[in-house]
Amino acid sequence: MNTNKSQTYNNETLVLHADQEWAKKEKGVSPAIYYSATFSAEDSAEFAEMAGTPLHPRYYTRYGNPVHERVNKIMADLEGTETALVTGSGMGAIASTILALVSAGDHVIAQTRHYMSTAKIMDEMLPRFGVEVTVVEQSEISAFEEAIRPNTKLIMLETPANPTLVITDLEAVVKVAKKQNIIVVADNTFASPLNQRPHDVGVDVVVHSATKYLGGHHDITAGVICTSTKLAEKIWDTHTSIGSVLSPMDAWLLLRGLRTLPLRMERINSNALALAEFLEEQPEIEKVYYPGLPSHPQHELAKKQMKGFGAVIAFAIKGDYNATNRFVSALKLSTNAVSLGGVDSLVVHTAAMWEGALTEEQMKTAGIPANFVRYSVGLEHIEDLQADIIQALREL
């Protein structure tokens, strides 16, 4: 089924035609949704083949489904990996990958800044199972090098990362890791495969929260793991036991989302860069964090490893917690909600996310100032977004 023919296509064509083999067979111009938990066999021989083949698309949907197979083909081609494995959430992809690849007695290196639930796996879960974890400052390659031990099995990366969009030099970490055959995993959610392809510089496993850009419409929760066939089969074996399965309907919605990904990313990248530049000019704004701005401390590195800089802009308002709350509440075009990378803009008062869990003092130590805003730029017209920000800044 995997002809690799589509590898000669450009991204815009690939997202529409990489799964043409399935389209030919099914005859539907729109993909069929296989809403079936289980699939029939002709005889014992076929049943044995279905039961014994990793990622079989027609055995039992927790193991695979024909709609998953189409998503997997497009995602593998987008990331330039041999294969891919779709999951029920981004965390399903990350948990399956890590739990499949490390065992008690192994050592893992992770970043000081990760998506909150990934940080929880590193800080709380892995130590419970006898896996040692060292977290390092991701902008310093020497920190990765110094953390390596004889039993280091895996390095977990994520770039750009919250809250200030710090960049990790993927190529440099891979170089350090390969001296000792350490598996490198990168969470590419904040970049998308259109803006950054970690496998091209040697990252072994690329994971995504497909809830964000890939689905792109704030409607589904999904994840994907892009890697070699060998590692995918190993991860799949754990994934089937963890059970983070994507429903056939949500896989279909993800497939639909992927068809417009290159087009959406183009607009998101240009809107976000324009908005970041605009924010930097506003006297009411203290500081803007965006890898596409020359003021970002790692702008040169970002330009080297990224084709575009994505939707997420972080900025600090000149004002306290209440002023920041007034600003966020006054915005009319960006919805006050978590998540990122969808068609419409979202905004979050970062400190409010943590208010229930941390004291003001703890937030300060964790580097979450009260005046921090995270903005995920959508597809609205840039002039409307700018005008909306101007009117909300008047509320300060």
Ligand X SMILES: *Cc1c(COP(=O)(O)O)cnc(C)c1O
Which parts of this chain interact with ligand X (CB under 6 A)?
89-91, 115, 158, 187, 189-190, 209, 211-212, 221, 223
Active site residue 113: no
Distance CA 384, CA 77 (A): 35
Q: CB of 3 within 8 A of CB of 21?
A: yes
194: closest CA among 251, 94, 268? 268
Query: Residue 207 or 285: which CB sits closer to ligand X?
Result: 207
Q: Which of 58, 153, 197, 212 is catalytic?
A: 212
Side-chain half-sphere exposure of 104, counting CA atoms within 13 A: 3
Q: Which of 34, 115, 213, 289 is catalytic?
A: 115
Distance CA 59, CA 43 (A): 13
Q: Which of 19, 106, 169, 187 is catalytic?
A: 187
Nearest approach, Cβ of 159 to ligand X (angstroms)?
9
Query: Residue 221 or 227: which CB sits closer to ligand X?
Result: 221
Tokens linked to 314: 């972080």
Query: Residue 165 or 392: which CB sits closer to ligand X?
Result: 165
Nearest approach, Cβ of 187 to ligand X (angstroms)?
5
**CB contact set of 68 (below 8 Å; sequence gap of 6+):** 57, 86, 246, 248, 251
Distance CA 37, CA 341 (A): 30
Nearest approach, Cβ of 376 to ligand X (angstroms)?
10
Nearest approach, Cβ of 201 to ligand X (angstroms)?
19
Query: Residue 191 or 389: which CB sits closer to ligand X?
Result: 191
Distance CA 136, CA 112 (A): 5
Q: CB of 367 within 8 A of CB of 331?
A: no
Query: Which single residue brings its beta carbon nearest to ligand X?
Result: 90
Query: Residue 169 or 187: which CB sits closer to ligand X?
Result: 187
Query: Residue 51 or 116: which CB sits closer to ligand X?
Result: 116
Distance CA 269, CA 376 (A): 11
Active site residue 303: no
User: Residue 175's Cα: distance from chain center in Å?
Assistant: 23
Active site residue 62: yes
Query: Residue 196 or 325: which CB sits closer to ligand X?
Result: 196
**CB contact set of 360 (below 8 Å; sequence gap of 6+):** 370
Tallying the residues shown for the chain, one arrives at 396
Distance CA 298, CA 292 (A): 9
Nearest approach, Cβ of 189 to ligand X (angstroms)?
4
Active site residue 200: no
Nearest approach, Cβ of 389 to ligand X (angstroms)?
23
Q: Do the strands 183-187 and 152-158 form a parallel or antiparallel pair, or are they unpaired?
A: parallel
Tokens linked to 342: 């969808």
Nearest approach, Cβ of 388 to ligand X (angstroms)?
24
- Please spell the DSSP secondary structure of 277-329, one letter per residue: HHHHH-TTEEEEE-TTSTTSTTHHHHHHH-SS--SEEEEEESS-HHHHHHHHH
Residues with catalytic function:
62, 115, 187, 212
